[in-house]
Structure 1
C-alpha cells in the first residue's frame, strides 16, 4: 500500500511548485520521487484499477502480437508497464520459460532518473537491446512502421493543447507497423459536470479510505496543477479519424481508462 512516509515526502516536494506545472517542473518532480513512482506496490493502490489495467494491457498485447520484437514505452517511468508485458510474454511462450524474451525496448521519459531505474529493472527481463531517451514526447522523432507494440501509461494527460494530442497520436500511428498495437492507460476527462463531480467524489472517498484525507487532497491538487486530460470518447474518435482500423476500450473506472488501437 501507499505508505504515509512516502506521501509526506512527495507532498513536501510539491509545495514549492507553481499553479501550473511546466515541463521542467514535471521532470523535476518525477526525478525527485523516482523511488516512489517506480514501485507498483507504492503507487498503484492510489490509481483506480491501475494494476488491473496494466495486466489487461500486457495480456491483450501478447494475444494480439505473439511475436513481439520491438516495443516503445512512452513515458515509461520506472518501467512497470514493460516489465509486466515481458513477464506475460515469457509465461505465455513455452519455449521462453527458461530464457528471456528477445525484445528490443525503446524507453522514453522526461526524467533521466526514471529511465535509469527502468533500464536496470528491464535488463533482467529481456535479452534484447534497450535504448533510452530523456525527452519530451512532443519533440520525439520516431521511425516509421517500426514498432509491434506502443505503451502509453499515465503520460498523455501531460499534453496541453489539442494540436499536441493530435500530433502525438499521428506520430504513434506512423511509428507502428501495419497490424501493430497501441495501448493507453491514463487519467481521462469527463465532459458532463454532474458525472465529473460524482466521479471525483467517489475517487476522493477511495483515496481517503486507501490512505487518508491529506493524501486525497494532495492527489487532487496534483491533478489540478499538472494534468490536462482529454475525454475517453474524444480520444477514441481521434484514433479512428487518424486511421486506426480497430479501437476498443479495455476498462474504465471513473476518471481512469485503458484502451487499445490497432493500425
Structure 2
C-alpha cells in the first residue's frame, strides 16, 4: 500500500469519529476557525470557495455561516469522509464534493476561485509537493483572491519542535485525549505528517507570486497563514 492510500485508509477508518477526536486533540480548535475567517477582507464577497482537505465538514460549516450563498467545493482524499459531509449537509445545494489528492488537483477552469481555505491538512504532503500545490492554488485563484489556511508547523530548530510536541500532548490530555488517542495520532504523524516551519510557508508563498502574506494567528504549532494574489 502506498503512502497516499494509507492516508486515505486512515481517514476512512476515522470518518465517523473524526470530529470528536480532533476536538480532543487540537487546543483552541474553534479559535483557529474564528481567526481563519476574521481576517479575510470584508470587501471580499466570494462566489466560489475551495475547501482543501474538508474532513467531515467542520470548516465547510463555518464557511457556510460566513458566506451562505457561495458555491463551496469540498475536497478530500477520503471517500468515506466525503460521505460524512454529504450526510451532514444533506439538502444544501451549494456544496459540491470532490474526491481528489492534493498532488493531482483537477479543476478545468483556471482562476476559478475567490477564496481557498484549508484546516490542518496541508502537512500531509512533503515540502516539494506543498510548493507545487501553492503554485496550483495561485493559478486557481482570481486576481485579488485569498488563500488562507491553518496547519501544524514545526519550528526553527528541532528543540523548539520537540517542545511544541510536549506542550501539544499536555493540552490534548487537558481536552480529554487518552494515551490511546495520543499514540494513534503519533503513529499517524510518524508515517504521514511533514511539518514545516511557519517561515518556510511564508517564503514559499512569496516565491510562488502571492502579493502579500502574513501569519495572522499562532498557538504552539498551529499557524493560520493568509496570502493574497
For structure 1, the 5+ residue unaligned runs are 1-17, 90-100
Kindly state the Cα deviation for residue 221 of structure 1 after the two structures are TM-superposed: 2.5
Which residues in structure 2 correspond to 1:175-214 (within 5 Å)?
Answer: 175-210=140-175, 211-214=177-180
Instruction: Determine which of 40, 48, 62 is the counterpart of 1:70.
Output: 48
Q: 1:4 corresponds to which residue?
A: none
Alignment partner of 1:109 is 2:87: no
For 1:188 and 1:113, the matched residues in 2 are separated by 27
Q: Number of residues paired by the alignment? A: 227
Separation in structure 1 between the aligned mates of residue 93 and residue 182 of structure 2, nearest angstrom:
40
Larger radius of gyration: 1
Moved more, 240-249 or 204-213: 204-213
Whole-angstrom CA distance in 2 between matches of 1:262 and 1:55: 19
Pairing partner for 1:119 from 76, 83, 86: 86
- Asked if residue 27 in structure 1 is aligned to residue 5 in structure 2, the reply is no
Partner of 1:79: 57
Q: In 2, are the aligned partners of 1:59 and 1:88 still within 8 Å (CA)?
A: no
- 2:122 counterpart residue number: 156
**TM-score normalized by the length of structure 1:** 0.79
Equivalent position SS for 2:17: helix
Secondary structure of the corresponding residue to residue 35 of structure 1: coil
Compute the displacement of 1:62 (Å): 6.6
The CA RMSD measured in Å over matched residues stands at: 2.0
Change (3 A) 1:127 1:217: closer
Alignment map for 1:1-263 (pairs within 5 Å): 22-37=3-18, 39=19, 41-61=20-40, 63=42, 65=44, 67-89=45-67, 101-123=68-90, 127-128=93-94, 130-142=95-107, 143-160=109-126, 162-210=127-175, 211-263=177-229
Distance (whole Å) between structure 2 residues aligned to residue 213 and residue 141 of structure 1: 39
Give, in angstroms, the shift of residue 127 of structure 1: 4.7
Give the TM-score, by structure 2 length: 0.90
Q: CA deviation at 1:72?
A: 0.5
Cα distance in 1, alignment partners of residues 87 and 40 from structure 2? 23
SS in 2 for 1:61: coil
Superimposed CA distance per residue, residues 212-251 of structure 1 (whole angstroms, 9 cap, x where no aligned partner): 3343333223211220121110010110111111111121
Structure 1 residue 33, shift from structure 2 partner? 1.2
Partner Cα separation in structure 2 for residue 207 and residue 82 of structure 1: 24
Cα distance between partner residues in 1 of 2:204 and 2:139: 14
Question: Which structure would you say has the larger RCO, counting Cα contacts within 8 Å and 6 or more residues apart?
Answer: 2
Structure 2: unaligned runs, 5 residues or longer:
none
| Distance in 1 (alpha carbons) for counterparts of 2:25 and 2:11 | 16
SS at match of 1:77: coil
Shift of 1:179: 0.6
| 1:255 to partner: Cα distance | 1.4
